Amino acid sequence: MFPPKTVGIIGNHGQMAEKVVGPFFKDTGCQVIGSDLRKPQGLNNREVVERADIVYFSILPISEVATAIRELTPFGRPDTSWLHGTSIQNPVSGSIIAAMNDERLLARGVCTGFLHFMVGPMIRSLRGQSIVYGFLNEHDRRDDWKNWLVTQLQTKRPILIECSPESHDALTTESQIIPMLTALLAGQLWRQQDVSLSDALQVAGPPCWLQTYGILRNLGQSKVIAEILVNHPHTREVVEAAKTTLHEIEEACRNNAIEKLARTAREGLTVISEEKLAEIKRTTDWHIRLEGDLRGGAVCFVFSQSQNKLGLLTSVLRTFDQHQLDKTSCMAQELPDGSCRFYIGLKEITHPNVRKACEQVVADFGGEILVEP
């Protein structure tokens, strides 16, 4: 029914379902139910479909998503919506979009689409995060379902991108496939070196730190990487292109073709506008300076929701001023549970007043010191 009152998640015990999808739909005021093979004593998939106004498919492995949708198609209810959150729209193992576009679903009055949260389950908030969505079949109330969903999503202040399934897979080729392949390559090359990565990072500069952090974060999601790379329709063509590029780099190095390598690097910058590149450079420079400042000496405080009051950051910084401590950087983060975390970089982390200032902050405002001087 519309507007929806119950959301059913197929695969509701996966991490994304438990930590991102379920909480989002609960915040809309809907009851959230679900089924999962890992909890067979609960509802089964058909029971979820028969009760839910929105059915959300959050299933791994990716190869089973289209099959699950087809098996449940005969039980679709009128005036409901089915969405899937898979990272790929047209997996090589079986097109999810073809299953969602089944004429039987439209005939039964089911509005279909996709809702892809471009985050991992470790994310603390959807604010500023990208969410890609699209609606598929020509359901009479397609615009109603779309407007309802967008309205609910906007309350989280994410970056919303509406696109077609084909555009989605083209976009994720650049935003997921290429970075994932790069991470796998870097990880294996690191393993073949004679020094540890930890030692190498000690002599690296901030740009290398940031790149390495991103690669390691990717590698930390091994099953997700494997699922996406195996199933994405563009993985194989990207791998072939990578082979060609690596061969060209090898030849240029062998032939001492410095200008050719430099030109290859410059060509890589042409994939983005100069205006956007300047914006990225400003952001990257800020991250680099912040990382250097924090590594050079910083303290970190965490405050509970009840302690997180208006003016808290100003008061904490004033305490450090009162102790004549010069600051290099400051970063404040409010967390989803209402608590907050402050990182304060200091020019002289070994100054005896640093300990005094930290103790005064805890005494005056509460909180806990996570990173001590």
pLDDT single digits (tens) 45-81 = 999 999 999 999 999 999 999 999 999 999 999 999 9
**Do 149 and 32 fall within a single domain?**
yes
- Give the model confidence (pLDDT) of 248-300 as tens digits: 999 999 999 999 999 999 999 999 999 999 999 999 888 888 888 777 789 99
**Do 140 and 210 fall within a single domain?**
no
**Do 184 and 78 fall within a single domain?**
no
Question: Does residue 68 belong to any structural domain of this protein?
Answer: yes
As for how many domains the chain has, the answer is 3
Q: Is the pLDDT of residue 373 over 80?
A: no
Q: In angstroms, rounded to a whole number, what is the distance separating the alpha carbons of residues 153 and 175?
A: 21
**Do 18 and 159 fall within a single domain?**
yes
**Do 14 and 158 fall within a single domain?**
yes
Question: Does residue 200 belong to any structural domain of this protein?
Answer: yes
Binning pLDDT at 50, 70 and 90, where does residue 372 land? low
- Give the model confidence (pLDDT) of 76-95 as tens digits: 999 999 999 999 999 999 99
pTM of the model: 0.86
**Do 173 and 316 fall within a single domain?**
no
Q: Which of 26-40, 313-327, 331-345 has the highest mean pLDDT?
A: 313-327
Question: Does residue 152 belong to any structural domain of this protein?
Answer: yes
Question: Does residue 274 belong to any structural domain of this protein?
Answer: no
**Do 26 and 131 fall within a single domain?**
yes
**Do 346 and 197 fall within a single domain?**
no
**Do 195 and 71 fall within a single domain?**
no
**Do 123 and 221 fall within a single domain?**
no
Question: Does residue 281 belong to any structural domain of this protein?
Answer: no
**Do 91 and 231 fall within a single domain?**
no
Mean pLDDT of 302-326: 95
**Do 181 and 229 fall within a single domain?**
yes
Question: Does residue 65 belong to any structural domain of this protein?
Answer: yes
Residue 153: domain span: 6-163
Question: Does residue 290 belong to any structural domain of this protein?
Answer: no
Binning pLDDT at 50, 70 and 90, where does residue 322 land? very high
